[in-house]
Amino acid sequence: MNSPNRTLEEHLEHLTHEALRQLPPCRAPASLEARIMGEVAARAAQPRRAAGINRWPLAARLALMAGCILCIPLAWVLMMSLRMQLSYTLVATGAIPVLHGFRSVSSALLLLAELAVHLARQIPGAWLFGGLLATGALYAALCALGHLVLRSAAPHSKVHSV
């Protein structure tokens, strides 16, 4: 089926192609090849740990992926524990009835500040430190998993010249 739009598109494509063909060829700077070859040599000389994840051995990539996947249940357990602690704190401080009757923003902010102080006093310092470490480890694991997924999706993207 040959529509008038298709014919117009083909005509415009032909005109554009002809106009571009008449332009003088673009020349790269003389130093470009030397810079490119220098960068290729510098990247080849980098240690293996600085290379992309696609150059890791398969066993290391699989271990990283397994570690990232194992972090998901750990995060779930930590979230449930935090939820239970927060529920206990809301009941213990008597904040539940106040939550239903917020009349102003200032009372809400005062309640949140009170809850934060109460939580800070209830949670042992080792738990806070461990929580910060676990959060950092989980963040690093999720970043690594995202990097792994992105690099695996397009392992070698090439730019094709016309």
Scan for tokens 């571009």, then name that residue.
Answer: 20
Judge whether 124 lies within some domain: yes
Judge whether 96 lies within some domain: yes
Judge whether 41 lies within some domain: no
Judge whether 13 lies within some domain: no
Alpha-carbon torsion 68, 73, 76, 77, what sign?
Answer: negative
d(C-alpha 4, C-alpha 9), whole Å? 9
Q: Which domain holds residue 101?
A: 87-128
Judge whether 115 lies within some domain: yes
d(C-alpha 86, C-alpha 76), whole Å? 15
Dig out the tokens for 151 from the structure: 């690099």
If you ran DSSP here, which 8-state letter would residue 1 be given? -
Model confidence band, residue 3 (pLDDT cutoffs 50, 70, 90)? low
- 14 or 115: whose pLDDT is higher? 14
Judge whether 110 lies within some domain: yes
> Which tens digit of pLDDT belongs to each residue from 141-162?
988 888 887 777 655 544 444 3
> Which tens digit of pLDDT belongs to each residue from 19-56?
988 988 888 787 888 888 888 888 777 766 556 777 77
CB-based contact 144:68 (threshold 8 Å)? yes
Judge whether 68 lies within some domain: no
Model confidence band, residue 15 (pLDDT cutoffs 50, 70, 90)? very high
Domain count, the chain: 1
Dig out the tokens for 69 from the structure: 């996947």
pTM, whole model, 2 decimals? 0.31
Dig out the tokens for 134 from the structure: 């676990």
